Structure 1
Amino acid sequence: MKYLLLLIATILSVAASAQTIPTRGSSYQDSVRASAAEGKVIMVNGEPVNKAMDFIENLTASKSNAIFLNALRVSGMYGTLKSRGPLTLLLPADSALKQQLAARLDTLLKPAHKYELVNLLSYHILPGRYTSKDLIKLIKDTQGTATILTLAGSKLTATINENRNLILTDNSGGKSVISLFDIEESNGIMHTLSKCLIPQDRAL
């Protein structure tokens, strides 16, 4: 399992290596303006998300996801989120990563802990495209608790609480609220989370 995760990350990264990552600058701003005129751009937490761009392009253009983006780079998983997809990204806030992982985050970014980092990041990616409507239907079809397989091979459970929030529960029992839904990307869809999801028994 350990080597399979690393192999998947490596293959996808090589496949995407010829693709360029945009930087914030005049060309990016021109692209945003042009896409906004075509209705391709929405604002998420005050920042533009262009549905004609892939996950990595939009994360790179954001000022709010530097920790998650750096973890993707260090782990070799850029290629995963630049692949054709479709994928569903469950994006934790950088503040949640810092709070929950604390000093452990620096350790995870070291080469010796690449497997744990790949496992953590893959736990936030679902194969396929799951909109909020898809998740709600799964929950209703399974009498209130849906089990979802992540790219890491581990499972999450999805429920709806008394306040009608969509809740994801990780293997360790931690709960995260989906705070923003259905953010379109060229190769999938993204939902933002209130907390980081922690896989079980991975020394995290």
Structure 2
Amino acid sequence: MRTLAKLLLTTVAAAGLAACAQSEADTMGKPMMSSSASMSPSGMGSSGMGSMDPVMVGGQSMLPSKTIVDNAVNSADHKTLVAAVKAADLVDTLRSPGPFTVFAPTDAAFSQLPPGTVGTLVRPENKQALTGILTYHVVPGRLDMMELQRRIMAGNGSATLKTVQGGTLTAMMNGPHNITLRDAAGHVADISTYDVYQSNGVIHVIDHVLMPK
């Protein structure tokens, strides 16, 4: 199992390197894309949660009164992620009080992986590898955009985030209003939608799948 998981991760990481490197080059200096709700004064920071309007993700309103899973299942852009969460038996975990910060890859992000990778990972025999990848996208606590920026500034340009998987992600500013994430292998993902508040945390939508070592 351990050998298979390592091979899967190595295959995915190698195939994603070129795409992620190109994304990093293409997005240097690109302004942040975010919903109007997450950019409004009432939406900035956890103190504004009560008065913030729902953010639209995948054509649906993400209601702050619902859990991470209960919102994600309604997003047309996160069908692959939801299927993977179910295959890894993480539904109950992501419905628990948390709080959690989830960096959620879109279906388009998963489609950049080598053909057949997702289908292989969701097989029962590869549950350990799948769980490792998914929990690498989860950080304990409610880290909204303002908190991420605060940590990056305190770290002189970067912040190390400890994931539930046990590995680390590095958050960096890419221009004045855009945050990128670098995984353990050096691949980079942009946050395309910030501060999608949930009852048990916050989601940030990202454009690439992140990989632990």
TM-score, length-scaled by structure 1: 0.76
Q: Is 2:80 aligned against 1:67?
A: yes
Q: Is 2:201 aligned against 1:177?
A: no
**What is the CA deviation profile of residues 41-84 of structure 1, one whole-angstrom value per residue up to 9, with x for unaligned ones?**
33234321111110111112222211110100011010111010
Structure 1 residues 101 and 71: alpha-carbon distance in aligned structure 2, compared to 1, 3 A threshold:
farther
**How does 1:43-82 map onto structure 2 within 5 Å?**
43-82=56-95
Structure-2 separation of matches of 1:141 and 1:39: 27
Structure 1 residues 89 and 70: alpha-carbon distance in aligned structure 2, compared to 1, 3 A threshold:
same
Structure-2 separation of matches of 1:79 and 1:163: 37
Q: CA deviation at 1:164?
A: 3.8
Counterpart residue number, 1:87: 100
| Structure of greater relative contact order (alpha carbons < 8 Å, 6+ residues apart) | 2
Structure-1 separation of matches of 2:53 and 2:176: 31
Structure-2 separation of matches of 1:41 and 1:175: 28
Moved more, 150-159 or 55-64: 55-64
Q: 1:106 aligns with which of 105, 110, 119?
A: 119
| Root mean square deviation of aligned Cα | 1.7
Q: Is 2:162 aligned against 1:149?
A: yes
SS of aligned partner of 1:100: coil
Structure-1 separation of matches of 2:52 and 2:155: 36
**What is the CA deviation profile of residues 74-132 of structure 1, one whole-angstrom value per residue up to 9, with x for unaligned ones?**
11010111010111010011111121243211111111111000000001111111011
Counterpart residue number, 1:129: 142
Structure 1 residues 119 and 101: alpha-carbon distance in aligned structure 2, compared to 1, 3 A threshold:
farther
Structure 1 contact 40–52 (Cα < 8 Å) conserved: no
TM-score, length-scaled by structure 2: 0.73
Structure 1 contact 172–198 (Cα < 8 Å) conserved: yes
Counterpart residue number, 1:190: 203
Structure-1 separation of matches of 2:173 and 2:52: 31
Structure 1 residues 54 and 105: alpha-carbon distance in aligned structure 2, compared to 1, 3 A threshold:
same
Gaps of 5+ in 1: 3-37
User: How many aligned positions are there?
Assistant: 164
